Amino acid sequence: AQKITQTQPGMFVQEKEAVTLDCTYDTSDQSYGLFWYKQPSSGEMIFLIYQGSYDEQNATEGRYSLNFQKARKSANLVISASQLGDSAMYFCAMRESTGFQKLVFGTGTRLLVSP
Amino acid sequence: DVKVTQSSRYLVKRTGEKVFLECVQDMDHENMFWYRQDPGLGLRLIYFSYDVKMKEKGDIPEGYSVSREKKERFSLILESASTNQTSMYLCASSFQGTSNYGYTFGSGTRLTVV
């Protein structure tokens, strides 16, 4: 079964600095997708970035980039130039490649950005 | 603006009550999902549906049931609420097949059972 591990319950960063949120995954599938979501205090899950297992380039979306290391089974999220509005919970997720292709989520990392 | 709407942001119910959590999406998505979110446990899948009147158990279906009579609406039912069902409940939807966007989520319902 697929599994996502986020080992950082909380992270602190100062405004304008970069921060890396860790995510490792476990799967025996060759084809899979990896996602990062942001959950502000309002509760809604906001899609940030996607990486396919066959994508050769690391995904980037504005200030977000995904450091994809397939051999190490890691998919870390890098946020550059942190802003106060980045304070939120961040979840890493993996889409199953078989069956109903459900998303499996990690336990999340709470990021706090200080002025 | 496309969205997934959950009928309540906050609910307080008594132990033993029958509780309905409603979710509506306007994106014509085939798949709909109910997750519960607890600190330190992340999001855990309760039930999902891939078509009208079709449902599949997720990882933690005990104590819950679901209903999908129309494509746009997916209801989560707590037959007899218990205090250990106090949690944040998140509804989501998606098209069938692979997608680079994963799911679209609602804003969540924070349920407290007293």
Q: Token digits for B16? A: 């033993």
- CA B73 – CA B30 distance, rounded (Å): 11
- CA B59 – CA B38 distance, rounded (Å): 14
B78: which strand partners?
B19, B64
Which pLDDT score is estimated for B1? Answer: 66
A34-91, pLDDT tens digit by residue?
999 999 998 889 999 999 999 989 999 999 999 999 999 999 999 999 999 999 999 9
Question: Which residues on B lie below 8 Å from A50 (Cβ)?
Answer: 100-102
Q: What is the mean pLDDT of residues B12-40?
A: 95
B80-114, pLDDT tens digit by residue?
999 999 999 999 998 877 667 778 999 999 999 99
Which pLDDT score is estimated for A31? Answer: 87
**pLDDT above 90 (res A10):** yes
Nearest Cα to A95, choosing from B45, B30, B41?
A: B45
Nearest Cα to A49, choosing from A86, A79, A14?
A: A79
- CA A51 – CA B22 distance, rounded (Å): 32
Give residue A13's pLDDT band: very low, low, confident or very high (50, 70, 90): very high
Give residue A101's pLDDT band: very low, low, confident or very high (50, 70, 90): confident
Question: Which residues on A lie below 8 Å from B108 (Cβ)?
Answer: 43-44
Q: What is the mean pLDDT of residues A3-17?
A: 96
Chain B interface, Cβ < 8 Å to A: 9, 31, 33, 35, 40-45, 48, 50, 56, 58, 88, 90, 92, 97-98, 100-108, 110
**pLDDT above 70 (res B2):** no
Q: Is A85 on the interface with B (CB under 8 A)?
A: no
Phi, psi angle pair for B93, to nearest 5°: -145, 160
In three-state secondary structure terms, B39 is coil
The pLDDT mean for chain B works out to 93
A–B CB contacts, 8 A cutoff, strictly below: 60
- CA B32 – CA A4 distance, rounded (Å): 21
B31-77, pLDDT tens digit by residue?
999 999 999 899 999 999 999 989 999 999 999 999 999 999 999 99
Q: Cβ contact (<8 Å) for B102 and A35? A: yes
3-state secondary structure B62-112: CCEEEEEEECCEEEEEECCCCHHHCEEEEEEEECCCCCCCCCEECCCEEEE
- CA B75 – CA B86 distance, rounded (Å): 17
Which pLDDT score is estimated for A29? Answer: 87
